[in-house]
A and B are shown apart, each in its own frame.
Chain A
Amino acid sequence: MSEKFDVIVVGAGPAGTACAYTCAKNGLKVLQIERGEYPGSKNVMGGVLYRKQTEEIIPEFWKEAPLERPIIEQRFWMMDKESTVSFGYKGLEWGVEPYNNFTVLRAHFDQWFAKKGVEEGVLLINETVVTECIVEDGKVIGVRTDRPDGEIFADVVVLADGVNSLLAKQLGFHNELKPDQVALTAMEVINLPKDKINDRFNLQENQGCTIEIFGDSTKGNLGTAFIYTNKESINIGVGTTLSSMIKAKMKPYELLDYLKNHPMVAPLLAGGESTEYLAHLIPEGGFRAVPKVAGNGVVVIGDAAQLVNAIHREGSNMAMASGKMAAEAVIHAKERNDYSETSLNSYREALYASSIMKDLEKYKDAAHLFESSPQYFKEYVPMMNQAMSKFFTVDGTPKKEKQKQIIKGFTSERGTFGVMKDLYRAWKAVK
């Protein structure tokens, strides 16, 4: 196999396709290699698609992309065993152009997105696994696939092969992920008729809602749960760091079953039919875990570069933005005909100058803080629920007296100083 491409992109998720698309649109000869039967086939789940980063690649994509519902409401639940404190925002302005975010089924969206790349000239091959990068004189010059006569060459190889990127590991960019750097998320798609979803979530046609749940959704472990509404199905998922799961001796599906049967959640799902179940690793390492992202003839993007915001559970937006930045670096490298690490480092610089890295940096301590201080999830969420219950229960006690009791409730468990310290640390970590 002597054929040579400008760029080989490994993986056809949002990151890989954003990169392949941008390169091809700028006239580069691009080969994209996907291991699944088709792009998205390995990902039966739904997720949130962010308008801004998608629009920067395909303007007005909402006019033709297979989207589920525009998200017009985001709710947050601090959930205890038999209660929940909720707040959120619902705005009709998110339901009209240019929208804010959307729910999507990845199998449909990824396929459509990859097709847009093919229309721009990307050569996409499926069902092919890249087993390693071919390295010569310290420079990546191509990839080896699992197919007969499976070597193929390029000036730049883009690694978009997902969170557990074997290729980045092989190049020594990654260390083996530590259990506290990845979250194990168990997700399920539950089919429900459109009318039922609209009624239960107080939505109208073409309106969607997301719920992020903290507290008892993870049995008090570090992590969150989520519920997203699709057109005729609901995505429900729960994730905690691998390390908490190991510590608590829990299996992902046990946690998901617990959540599905939770009295706050079960009525939303009643009568639904489970169709797909998936357990998935998500990098939660944040800023501290971002590996080397550029080398001689190679760049790493998306989940493979651990670009996920653990606190805000954003991934596909960073995936797309990093894909586009990497593409721009590759295009410049081609103009200079220089594919060295120094040249490709313009991607690294763009990445670190972007809001992606700033956000990741901002929250860099959050995961560690919550991991090492279980009281945030185990104690404060129940306390908050008790407080609200006391406050809203009509029993003849004056409101002022109630507030006193609430504060006493908080401080008696951990001491005034402990609570103050915790709150300050949490505020610093997420603010």
Chain B
Amino acid sequence: MHIVVCVKQVPDTKIIKINPKTNTLDRRSAPAILNPYDAHAVQEAVRLKSILGRGKISVLSMGPPQATEVIKKCIEIGADEGYLISDRAFAGADTLATSYALSKALEKIASVDPIDLVICGKHAIDGDTGQVGPGIARRLDIPPVTNVIEVSEVNSNDRTIVIKRKLSNGYELVQANMPCLLTVEKEINKIEYSPLSNMLKAARYKSHIWSVSDLGEVNITQLGLKGSPTVVGKMFTPPKLEGGKMLDGTSDEQVSQLMEVLLEQKELLNVK
């Protein structure tokens, strides 16, 4: 079974700081990391491979040349091969243009070694859109299953997979024919501590790097900024909310004022 995981290098939003004056990101402080959801996607591929006892895991990313760092990270987790598509022509892509470029690379990967399963993270933490995964599935014309919290069964014989998919108020059990595309939630697994051999392999690993010309027949107008229908119109600070009443005084006075307010709502409180 050939599993391809799509991953993205993102700034670590945990660490990134906002410049309070300009309201923009202070990128100095933010190291680039593997999108955390994508790490779980790779881990799930590793888990499936080890359950099936065979298979191959490739990872695919789009980004600047330094994005090979996140591919190394995926090799640490247990991926076998890594591909980076990197070209100025891809720059400025929105989700539509991104899914187009990635699907072209996936077609190229599949032409050598047919793909059974594509796994993506639920979304990237620098955009939070979650639109690229389903977009890739459409372009490859394979069924997408989003918000996956468990892969319950993989039947290599009849080429089906059974998945638990998170819903707004519960979950559903879905069976899908392979090849298909999954986007995974963090709770799908725990990132394992990789063996030392993976670390050595990753440190030595040289990713395949492809430019547009390596992707075969590509419609240039669908790539990058040109291929992106959405544009940022303006940035603005949202209208300030009015704000309420500040409770003054010592902390005892503040608390007793607050208690007055809360006791008006006492039917809502269930004091134990």
Direct contact of A and B (CB under 8 A): yes
Interface flag for B203 (CB, 8 Å): yes
Q: How many A-B residue pairs have CB under 8 A?
A: 39
Residues of B within 8 A of A298 (CB): none
Contact A125 B199 (CB under 8 A): yes
Q: Whole-angstrom distance between the alpha carbons of A1 and B194 in the complex?
A: 14
Interface residues of B in 18-76 (CB under 8 A from A): 29, 31
Is B197 engaged at the interface, CB distance under 8 Å to the other chain? yes
- Which residue of B has the minimal Cβ distance to A152? B196
Q: From residue A121, how far is it (CB to closest CB) to chain B in Å?
A: 11
From A125, A149, A275, give the contact of B203 (CB < 8 A): A125
Check B196–A145 contact: CB distance below 8 A.
yes
Q: Distance in Å from the Cβ of A103 to the closest Cβ of chain B?
A: 15
Is the Cβ of B203 less than 8 Å from the Cβ of A124?
A: yes
B31 touches A1 (CB 8 A): no
Q: Are B197 and A1 in contact (CB under 8 A)?
A: yes
Chain B facing A: main interface SS: helix
Q: How far is the CB of A358 from chain B (nearest CB, A)?
A: 38
Write the nearest CB–CB distance from B78 to chain A, whole angstroms.
12
Contact flag A147-B193 (CB < 8 Å), given A38-B31, A125-B199, A128-B199: yes
B262 contacts chain A at the CB level, 8 A cutoff: no
Partner of B196, one of A37, A41, A148, A275: A148
Contacts of B239 in A (CB 8 A): none
A3 touches B195 (CB 8 A): no
Within 8 A of A (CB), among B195-234: 195-197, 199-200, 202-204
Contact across chains for B204 and A1 when beta carbons are under 8 A apart: no
Q: Which residues of chain B are near A148, meaning CB under 8 Å?
A: 193-196
Interface size grouping (class) on chain B: 10 to 19
Query: Given B195, B202, B204, which contacts A149 in the complex, CB threshold below 8 Å?
Result: B195
Whether B31 pairs with A147 at a CB distance below 8 angstroms is no
Give the docked Cα–Cα distance between A203 and B235 (Å): 36
The CB with the most chain A CB atoms within 10 A, among B31, B195, B196, is that of B196
Q: Which residues of A contact B204 (CB under 8 A)?
A: 123
Q: Does A27 contact B (CB under 8 A)?
A: no
A125 to B195, CA, bound (A): 12
Answer whether residue A88 sits at the interface, using C-beta atoms and an 8 A cutoff.
Answer: no
Chain B residues lying within 8 Å of A267, measured Cβ to Cβ, are none
CB neighbours (8 Å) of A149 from chain B are 195-197
Q: Are B195 and A150 in contact (CB under 8 A)?
A: yes
Of B31, B194, B200, which contacts A3 at CB under 8 A?
A: B200
Closest to A31 in B: B200
The minimal Cβ–Cβ distance linking B201 to chain A, given in whole angstroms, is 10
B203 near A1 (CB under 8 angstroms)?
no
Contact present for A147 and B199 (CB under 8 Å) = yes
Chain A interface residues toward B at CB < 8 A: 1, 3, 31, 37-38, 41, 123-125, 128, 145-152, 275
Which B residues have a C-beta under 8 Å from some C-beta of A?
17, 29, 31, 193-197, 199-200, 202-204
